[in-house]
Amino acid sequence: MQYSSPTKLYDAYVFDQDGTIYLGDHLLPGAKRLIEGLRKLGKPVRFLSNNPTKDPQDYVEKLERLGIPAPLSEIANTVVTTTRWLKAHYPDATVFPISEEPLKKALREAGIKMSENPEEIDIVIASYDRTFDYRKLQIAFDAIWFHKRAFLITTNPDRYCPFPGGRGEPDAASIVAAIEACTGTKLKANMGKPEPAMLEAALGDLDVDPANCMMVGDRLHTDIGMAVNTGMASALLLTGDSTAEEAEALDPAHQPTYVLDRIDHLIPDDIRAQWGWSDSDED
């Protein structure tokens, strides 16, 4: 684990978004020029998110507003990975999504059948759902425990979604926990970070070896954990959730390759010096 800039460039760069590229509605220092610099060097970039409450097009529009144009092909979130996984493995299944509208829209568009009838449900999808209530829990309970026909998956394993200022709100893991507690079942599959499926979705259209690519994020469990699970280099940004002390406390096999306090330090020192970059510069 190095507390300094990488000394080489990688073949492709995969970025978490909130806490890494931006925080809330504000770009983090160095993010804009970092992405522009990588594109200048001909390095592909991809943007990931574990947030299933947004359509991928929402991220395109947000990055555009923040001054980082990105085509839809560069975006992958758990709406994308969940839908792809279901189409690939259970195309005829009937699902009950405990989720917000973006995932339901994607499921409809993919032709995946949805139902709230426990006698028809094959798969319960626990997601980030700010409308979660006892009625939805009862449907999941009946489908899994009473009828003994459904199994449980989740879009993402996050305990909470961070907000600017240190606040947050419960995320999908809280809904998974409620269903597991009352049914005695265990989660069968996770569609988000740290599972390699997210990186496979992000890098699938590129002719690159993941071992020569870099995952960049602010969370040890999800972002860095996914890089470790996939055999990728990783950089922990100290601009969001996890701290350097937490990284240091991990077993060396699970530590990030680099720990950085600014995202533009991903560019090696000699190239930044050649370009005349200074940490005091504004994007």
User: Using CA atoms, how far apart are residues 47 and 215, in angstroms rounded to an integer?
Assistant: 10
When the pLDDT of each residue in the chain is averaged and rounded to a whole number, the result is: 93
User: Using CA atoms, how far apart are residues 107 and 89, in angstroms rounded to an integer?
Assistant: 14
Superfamily of domain 90-190: HAD superfamily/HAD-like (3.40.50.1000)
The answer to the question of whether 218 is labelled as a binding residue is: yes
Cα angle for residues 47, 72, 203 (degrees, 5° grid)? 50
The answer to the question of whether 50 is labelled as a binding residue is: yes
Mean pLDDT of 190-199: 88
Residue type, 259: V
User: Using CA atoms, how far apart are residues 29 and 17, in angstroms rounded to an integer?
Assistant: 13
| Neighbouring residues of 181: CB distance < 8 A, sequence distance ≥ 6 | none
| Neighbouring residues of 254: CB distance < 8 A, sequence distance ≥ 6 | 220, 224, 225, 228
Q: How far is CA 4 from the centre of its chain?
A: 25
User: Using CA atoms, how far apart are residues 86 and 170, in angstroms rounded to an integer?
Assistant: 25
Each residue's pLDDT tens digit, 22-49:
988 899 999 999 999 999 999 999 999 8
Q: What pLDDT sits at residue 158? A: 87
Residues of the chain with CATH 3.40.50.1000: 12-50+193-275, 90-190
Mean pLDDT of 83-112: 95
Each residue's pLDDT tens digit, 68-83:
999 999 998 999 899 9
The answer to the question of whether 73 is labelled as a binding residue is: no
What would the two tokens of residue 66 be?
A: 């923040």
The answer to the question of whether 11 is labelled as a binding residue is: no
Its sign, for the CA torsion 79, 180, 88, 195, is positive
What would the two tokens of residue 190 be?
A: 């996770």
pLDDT band for 204, please (50, 70, 90 cuts): confident
Its sign, for the CA torsion 80, 165, 217, 14, is positive
What would the two tokens of residue 16 be?
A: 């978490």
Catalytic residues: 16, 18
pLDDT band for 161, please (50, 70, 90 cuts): confident
Place of tokens 């994020």: 217
The answer to the question of whether 51 is labelled as a binding residue is: yes
- The dotted CATH code for 12-50+193-275 is 3.40.50.1000
Q: What pLDDT sits at residue 283? A: 56
